């Protein structure tokens, strides 16, 4: 169990937490890469998937095309973009682009499925009340699809936290650098410490999205109940 003692010793060493290669700096880089890629993926994916889910056309093709991205190794994309040079190369645009492509599929898939699984009775009721297409999306479909949409974003976020660690292989920083330096120094304690930090960050992100999910569930119930169509008796 010597590696366990080495891991604890590394984590408790204050020198490992400060400076340009310290954990706090690398954590900030890790979070920035994750948030940037997730934000861009949401900006690209959400409007497209919401629109396709609303009209019910072309969604299956879009989901299949985005799922192809899952078969492409992120590290391969990262290397290709580095070699491609300007405007990529070793600029911040390179990792954000590579990780954005990786983050898109879960968001597109879950958002489209969430929109299509909205109760058609609720949609028809909204239209019968005179709502426009945009009003139906905003006031009916999105509130009901929100939990599944959020789940897609959660999947992307947690996967990104783990995958962004490979950015260190191309000298882009992040907590993965703790692991790469550990291998370079043949320090098992440092390698395990880096893996543990990434795992804890992923769990923290998971817990955050779980909390958000709990907060939006009541809104879903209210939206569903507000669209109940009153039954009009036809008896004399």
Structure token digits, residue 178 = 């703790």
Element (H, E) at 85: none
pLDDT for res 230: 43
Task: Output the tens digit of pLDDT for each of the chain's 236 residues.
Answer: 688 899 999 999 999 998 888 999 999 999 999 999 999 999 999 999 999 888 887 777 777 777 776 777 888 889 899 888 778 888 889 999 999 999 999 999 999 989 988 888 888 888 888 788 788 888 888 888 888 999 999 999 999 999 999 998 888 889 999 999 999 999 999 999 999 999 999 999 999 998 888 887 655 444 444 444 444 443 43
Measured from the Cβ of residue 13, the count of other Cβ atoms closer than 10 Å reads: 12
Sorted by where each begins, the domain ranges of the chain are 2-13+20-225
Q: Please write the tens of the pLDDT for every residue from 80-104.
A: 998 887 788 888 899 999 999 999 9
pLDDT for res 222: 47
pLDDT for res 224: 45
Architecture of domain 2-13+20-225: Orthogonal Bundle (1.10)
Output b/e per residue, 84-123; b: 16+ Cβ within 10 A.
Answer: eeeebeeeeebbbbbbbbbbbbbbbbbbbbbbbebeeebb
Q: Among residues 89, 111, 92, 86, which one has the least CA distance to residue 32?
A: 92
pLDDT for res 1: 60
DSSP 8-class letter at 170? G
Q: Please write the tens of the pLDDT for every residue from 10-37.
A: 999 999 998 888 999 999 999 999 999 9
Total residues belonging to the chain = 236
Cβ pair 206, 158 in contact under 8 A: yes
pLDDT for res 231: 40
Distance of alpha carbon 12 from the chain centroid: 31
Q: Is 230 left (phi over 0), alpha (psi -120 to 50) or beta?
A: beta
Cβ pair 97, 89 in contact under 8 A: no
pLDDT for res 32: 95
Output b/e per residue, 189-224; b: 16+ Cβ within 10 A.
Answer: bbbbbbbebbeebbeebeeebeeeeeeeeeeeeebe
Structure token digits, residue 30 = 């890790």
């Amino acid at each position: 169990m010597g590696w366990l003692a080495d891991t604890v010793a590394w984590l408790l060493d204050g020198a490992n937490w400060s400076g340009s290669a310290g954990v706090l700096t690398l954590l900030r880089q890790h979070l920035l890469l994750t948030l940037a890629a997730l934000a861009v993926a949401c900006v690209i994916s959400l409007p497209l998937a919401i629109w396709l889910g609303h009209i019910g056309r072309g969604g299956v093709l879009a989901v299949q095309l985005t799922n192809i991205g899952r078969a492409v190794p992120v590290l391969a994309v990262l290397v290709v973009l580095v070699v491609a040079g300007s405007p990529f190369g070793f600029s911040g645009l390179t990792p954000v682009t590579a990780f954005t492509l990786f983050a898109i599929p879960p968001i597109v898939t879950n958002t489209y499925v969430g929109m299509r699984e909205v109760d058609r009775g609720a949609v028809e009721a909204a239209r019968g009340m005179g709502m426009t297409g945009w009003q139906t999306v905003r006031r009916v479909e999105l509130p009901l699809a929100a939990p599944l949409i959020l789940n897609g974003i959660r999947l992307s976020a947690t996967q990104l936290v783990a995958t962004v660690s490979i950015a260190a292989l191309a000298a882009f920083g992040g907590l993965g650098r703790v692991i790469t330096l550990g291998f370079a120094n043949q320090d098992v304690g440092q390698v395990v410490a880096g893996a543990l930090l990434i795992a804890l960050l992923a769990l923290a992100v998971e817990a955050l999205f779980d909390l958000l999910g709990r907060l939006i569930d009541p809104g879903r119930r209210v939206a569903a109940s507000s669209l109940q169509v009153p039954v009009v008796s036809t008896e004399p």
